[in-house]
Homo-oligomer: A and B are copies of this chain.
Amino acid sequence: MTAAPTVYDVAERAGVSIATVSRVYRTPDSVRASTRERVLAAARELGYVPSGNARGLASRSTGVIGLCFPDYGDPAADTEDDDTAMLYSDQIIRGMERAARRHGYALLIAASLKGGAAGLVAKVAGRVDGFAVMARTVPTEELEVISRRMPVVMLAGPREGTAFLDHLDHIEVANEDGQHELTRHLLVDHGVRRPAYIGTIEQSPDVQARFDGFRLACREAGVETGDEPALRLGRLTQEEGARAAARLCESPGELPDAFVFANDQTAVGALRELERRGLSVPDDVIVTGFDGIPLSRLVRPALTTVRQPMVRMGEEATELLVRRLSSKGEGEPVSRVLPVSVARRASCGCTETTPTL
């Protein structure tokens, strides 16, 4: 690896000053065409590439926005299925990148390490003009400090917990609305009367909002529910979902006519357990999820769920950042709620849509 040429090398070779070289890259029109050509030629011959670091340092801007996301451990999915299971973070990344590209920004992504997110923010923050953070990724305190220096937008993904710093921009999805609509569908269109909600132990805002939507729908339909979910799970995994289904089946009294899960993973786990027990979905019991992960389409019966627009969330995050960047961060904090949509599939008794061709 040879030492990289600098503006000085190019300038000397082209017989101009370094300022001219700089101009050729920043404002080509401010340089006479013939001069520009000479500079460009010299640069090409030398293999010159402007140092992003030096530029960033001198101009106080990088042309890069960032994303911090949690270390999702290894995807719960079997390795076989590795590339089918698209994680939230992947979708958000895609959305952010796409929008960033349109605005001429590149995207820097970094996940917290399993151990601690120590230094994650610092690492990213030091190299970008602004960034998005998936909730629960970094300590609130760190964000507090950094958001005074650059735009930060909080992404309330699924299963989050942190109280939001109220001066940050913030994007979330309509958890309550989605669960409400889905539940109403079960109650009104499928005549469900004894739905069981399966939530989590630690009440994250998202899961709480979903439960609220569930209860509201029940109340509206005159269906009785307690103030508590039928069950609370420690983690929202397939295993836990399967165990939840087992518990519900074995508990005394009448079997609920619908298992309403707080996410898709657990619902899929339940599907498996119910099949093992020889129970039919949706005939014996309806099962629904939340999130709309790809797997929800693949399972049989296909899972009725609430789809979250994660790609869109990424795009919105970028748009928000770019706007802040061009307005120097002025203006009130924005809080945006993205709409969700209910996917009515076979697990609630709706006709399954044909796979897209």
Contacts and interface: CB of A to CB of B under 8 A. Distances in A.
A357 interface: yes
Contact of A127 (B62, B84, B87): B62
A300 B83 contact: no
A330 to B, nearest CB: 9
A272 B44 contact: no
Contacts of A107: 108-110
A238 B272 CA distance: 34
Interface residues of A, number: 73
Contact of A53 (B2, B127, B148): B127
A148 to B, nearest CB: 6
Contacts of A124: 106
Interface string A259-294: 000000000100110010000000000000000101
Contacts of A272: 357
Interface string A55-77: 11100001110000001000001
A192 to B, nearest CB: 24
A142 to B, nearest CB: 9
A339 interface: no
Interface in A88-141: 90-91, 93-94, 97, 101, 106-111, 113, 121-127
A322 interface: no
Contacts of A44: 145
B310 A149 contact: no
Nearest to A94: B90
Interface of A: 1-2, 4, 44, 47, 49-57, 62-64, 71, 77-78, 80-84, 86-87, 90-91, 93-94, 97, 101, 106-111, 113, 121-127, 145-146, 148-151, 268, 271-272, 275, 292, 294-295, 297-300, 307, 310-311, 328-329, 354-357
